[in-house]
């Protein structure tokens, strides 16, 4: 009987010990303990930029604002920066990689602005017509409903 009570007291200790082992990663789960090597990443990212620059030379500079002209080149550039960041044990995107990408954007796409459509009212003749037609139709429908409701003997 005493041995059974001793086992019951040891069970919480055993559970805490197993929990500690699992928390420390002795269960086979690999924990990432590497730190981001920012200098390595910054050393490797310019190669991605150089490759992108070489590919962009194939595109007419007047077409640089048309994404469909170079989307594959930009995709390769993005994958390259992500791969180099991961090789340096850095997450992507990170502030340093974003700064590099922003520099590339300034180099190639600084003249690309989004053209906003400036809406204007139509000429007065068209505007008055577009307003009066629904108003007149509404008045006609109201008149028809009132006239039909007074002439209930026909319906």
The three-state DSSP-derived secondary structure of the chain is: CHHHHHHHHHHHHHHHHHHHHHHHCCCCCCCCCCCCCHHHHHHHHHHHHHHHHHHHCCCCHHHCCCHHHHHHHHHHHHHHHHHHHHHCCCCCCCHHHHHHHHHHHHHHHCCCCCCCCCCCCCCHHHHHHHHHHHHHHHHHHHHHHHHHHHCCCCC
Assess if residue 128 is contained within a domain.
no
Q: Is residue 118 part of a domain?
A: no
In a domain, 124, yes or no: no
Whether 27 maps to a domain, the answer reads: no
Instruction: Give 31's pLDDT tier (boundaries 50, 70, 90).
Output: very low
Mean pLDDT of all residues in the chain? 83
Identify whether 133 is part of a domain.
no
- Residue 72, domain CATH: 1.10.150.510
pLDDT digits (tens, 9 = 90+) for 122-150: 899 999 999 999 999 999 999 999 998 88
Let me know if residue 73 belongs to a domain. Answer: yes
In this predicted structure, what is the pLDDT of residue 100?
Answer: 94
Number of domains in the chain: 1
Query: Does position 21 have pLDDT exceeding 80, yes or no?
Result: no
Read off the pTM.
Answer: 0.53
User: Residue 93 falls within a domain, yes or no?
Assistant: yes
**Domain ranges, residue 42:** 38-110
């Amino acid at each position: 009987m005493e041995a059974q009570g001793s086992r019951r007291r040891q069970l919480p200790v055993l559970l805490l010990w197993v929990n500690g082992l699992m928390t420390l990663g002795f269960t086979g789960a690999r924990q990432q303990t590497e730190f981001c090597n920012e200098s390595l990443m910054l050393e490797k990212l310019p190669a991605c930029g150089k490759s992108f620059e070489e590919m962009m030379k194939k595109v007419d500079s007047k077409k640089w604002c048309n994404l469909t002209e170079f989307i594959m080149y930009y995709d390769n550039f993005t994958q390259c920066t992500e791969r180099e960041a991961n090789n340096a044990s850095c997450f992507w995107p990170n502030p340093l990689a974003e700064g590099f990408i922003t520099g590339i954007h300034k180099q190639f796409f600084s003249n690309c602005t989004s053209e906003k459509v400036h809406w204007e009212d139509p000429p007065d003749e068209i505007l008055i017509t577009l307003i009066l037609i629904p108003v007149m139709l509404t008045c006609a429908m109201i008149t028809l409903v009132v006239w039909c409701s007074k002439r209930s003997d026909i319906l």
